[in-house]
Chains A and B, each alone.
Chain A
Amino acid sequence: MSVSYRAVQWNAAKKAYDRRLIVVIALYFAVFFLAASVAFETSPLILAMRACGTAAIALLIFILSIGPLARFSPRFSPLLYNRRHLGVTMFLLAFAHAALATLWYHGFGVIDPLTSILESGAAFEGAAQFPFQPLGLAALVILFAMAATSHDFWLRNLSPRVWKLLHLGVYVAFALLVAHVAFGVLQGAIWPGFAWMLAAAAAWIVALHIAAGVKEWRADRVRRALAADGWVRVGEVERIVEETTEGRAKAVVIDDCRKIALYRENGAFSAISGVCAHQGGPLGEGKIIDGCVTCPWHGYQYIASKGQSPPPFFEKIPTYELRIEGRTLYVHPQAKPPGTPVPPCKIAGLEGSPS
């Protein structure tokens, strides 16, 4: 949400995050080289290739775990904050691995490296001869597309939805990589334990995503009754007041899977879309900081009653109308166009915290 684009939007938190990332990778390389140079006698180039490949896949597994973990516990949300840098780092490691492999196995040939990779394992008989390198290449192409479009410029210019769809490609890349490593390591028979670690990691990733998906799907299934005049009953005002605190929201799902965040601010409620305009983060799990609803994922901010970011930013989200009748709070299911101001719905007798 910058005013003009910069290469990297670093701040203190992101710098600390990146420093830790670099230290962890450096440690991994040190341990890998020490252990591996004892275990296999082979050239440093091969070792570097293996170090980069395994570091990339380990980082990918970590990255893929963060999203669903954050849906189970907000404690993991801080990890999401800078996930983009993890992704780009993972791509660079994978690229280094692929470049070294290409140099080593394909670079000294009389045919060009790309042809050589595509034709590798060409005469295969049975699965052990499976051409695993084209699988790695396909995964690398997907990871490249994701890393190359990771800047917010692409998010804005491809539109968040197309961008998100493109980045769902990471799942396909993950599957290709499991196959690449399973067949690659098999053909080399380097260390069978590695194959078991891979199987365990794949099982963990799949189980975690399915569990998180099912949780989400269950929550989305809650249908709320439409009142005769087309409004949707959210619940008793007292209950909602009990469930929320000042500056926090109640996440509501209406109409199959439309998400709404019901923010409590200064003794009143405002309803905005529960889906962040940045990358679809859960706005219902954010909080109000400096008068702005702040997304738990990457910190985009919105003024709840206006449905848009504070100037000079320009992000907009849909808003919803609220109504109290008797002791019941209703929301109108028709979203107002993004950025439409809606006056907050005052709750009699509810005080905002003095701040």
Chain B
Amino acid sequence: MRDLHARDRRTGSSTTAAARYLPAVLVEFLVQSVQLYAIVGLLFSLAFAWKGAAVVDPVATNATLGFRVLLLPGAALLWPLLAHRWWKAALAGSADIPSDHTEHWQRGSERLRSVALVMWLVLGPALVVVLVVAHLARSNGTPSTRDATQLPTVTSETKLMEDSR
């Protein structure tokens, strides 16, 4: 038996069709796209770690097994980019490592710090807003009363309740 204590209202899975903040079709589409992307990525990453990495970057030619394993998650994530690189390098017969060593890129990396400063000047006030809203929301409501009045639909909670009967 699991204790129900912590499975409180925060689960929030009790969705009523009328009050979704994301349309169900959109969620379904999102989830299926992610799944498809991940499956292709996983298969690709194996091929990439085994053969592709050394085609794209000759330094990886005699790399260790440990390194190849570490490549997997990144390759699964960035597979469209890497597939393109692999394709290009295989056609050209040589790797083309992107370089920052042009004047333009060099200037850009020297400016990154200022980008970061601007980012913090935006993030700072944004975080203040988040915290203030969260605090106000807290003093407004007594959230824990709402849950009991909600009729759960078929969710993890109902299933669990049934299980524990």
Q: Which residues of A contact B (CB under 8 A)?
A: 2-8, 41-43, 46, 104-112, 114-116, 118-124, 126-131, 133, 144-145, 147-149, 151, 153-154, 156-162, 164-165, 168, 171, 174-175, 178-179, 182-184, 186-189, 195, 198-199, 202, 206, 209-210, 213-214, 216-217, 220, 257-259, 273, 275, 277, 280, 316, 318, 335, 337-338
Q: Which residues of B contact A118 (CB under 8 A)?
A: 22, 27, 30-31
List, sorted by A's number, 30 A–B pairs whose CB atoms are closer than 8 Å: A4-B59, A110-B155, A119-B13, A119-B15, A119-B22, A122-B12, A127-B136, A129-B143, A144-B73, A151-B67, A151-B70, A153-B53, A153-B74, A157-B98, A159-B97, A159-B98, A161-B108, A164-B109, A171-B120, A178-B131, A179-B134, A182-B134, A186-B134, A186-B143, A195-B135, A217-B113, A220-B113, A258-B107, A259-B110, A273-B106
Partner of B66, one of A7, A127, A277, A338: A7
Instruction: Determine the residue in chain A with the shortest Cβ distance to B136.
Output: A127
What's the interface size class on B, roughly? 35 or more
Instruction: Determine the residue in chain A with the shortest Cβ distance to B11.
Output: A105
Say yes or no for B165: interface residue by CB 8 A criterion.
no
B5 touches A41 (CB 8 A): yes
A127 touches B134 (CB 8 A): yes
Known A157-B97, A157-B98, A183-B134: A206·B67 in contact at CB below 8 Å: no
Say yes or no for B61: interface residue by CB 8 A criterion.
yes
CA distance A337 to B66 in the complex (A): 35
B interface, over-half SS: helix
Q: Which of B8, B64, B134, B141 has the most CB of A within 10 A?
A: B134
Q: Which residues of A contact B22 (CB under 8 A)?
A: 118-119, 122
B141 touches A206 (CB 8 A): no
B112 touches A186 (CB 8 A): no
Within 8 A of A (CB), among B85-109: 85, 97-101, 103, 105-109
A210 touches B121 (CB 8 A): yes
Whole-angstrom distance between the Cβ of B79 and the nearest chain A Cβ:
12
Known A149-B74, A258-B110, A337-B101: A5·B60 in contact at CB below 8 Å: yes
Q: A127-B137, A144-B73 are in contact. List 10 more A-B contacts (CB 8 A).
A: A7-B70, A126-B140, A127-B136, A149-B78, A151-B67, A175-B126, A206-B127, A210-B117, A258-B110, A273-B106
Q: Which residues of A contact B116 (CB under 8 A)?
A: 168, 171, 209, 213
Known A4-B60, A108-B163, A129-B143: A124·B130 in contact at CB below 8 Å: no
A108 touches B159 (CB 8 A): yes
Whole-angstrom distance between the Cβ of A197 and the nearest chain B Cβ:
12
Partner of B19, one of A46, A108, A122, A210: A122
CA distance A335 to B99 in the complex (A): 16
B112 touches A164 (CB 8 A): yes
Instruction: Determine the residue in chain B with the shortest Cβ distance to A183.
Output: B134
Q: Which residues of B contact A (CB under 8 A)?
A: 2-3, 5-16, 19-22, 24, 27-28, 30-31, 34-35, 53, 56-57, 59-64, 66-67, 69-71, 73-74, 76-78, 85, 97-101, 103, 105-117, 119-121, 123-124, 126-127, 130-131, 133-138, 140-141, 143-144, 146, 150, 154-156, 159-160, 163
CA distance A163 to B69 in the complex (A): 20
CA distance A184 to B99 in the complex (A): 43
Whole-angstrom distance between the Cβ of A46 and the nearest chain B Cβ:
4
Q: Which residues of B contact A216 (CB under 8 A)?
A: 113-114, 117
CA distance A199 to B134 in the complex (A): 11
Instruction: Determine the residue in chain A with the shortest Cβ distance to B82.
Output: A157
Whole-angstrom distance between the Cβ of A18 and the nearest chain B Cβ:
15
Q: Which residues of B contact A110 (CB under 8 A)?
A: 154-156, 159
Partner of B28, one of A106, A115, A121: A115
Partner of A275, one of B76, B103, B110: B110
Partner of A42, one of B5, B11, B21, B64: B5
Partner of B100, one of A6, A115, A127, A161: A161
A7 touches B31 (CB 8 A): no
A338 touches B131 (CB 8 A): no
A195 touches B134 (CB 8 A): yes
Q: Which residues of A contact B77 (CB under 8 A)?
A: 144-145, 148-149
B156 touches A179 (CB 8 A): no
CA distance A3 to B59 in the complex (A): 7
Q: Which residues of B contact A179 (CB under 8 A)?
A: 130, 134
B6 touches A120 (CB 8 A): no
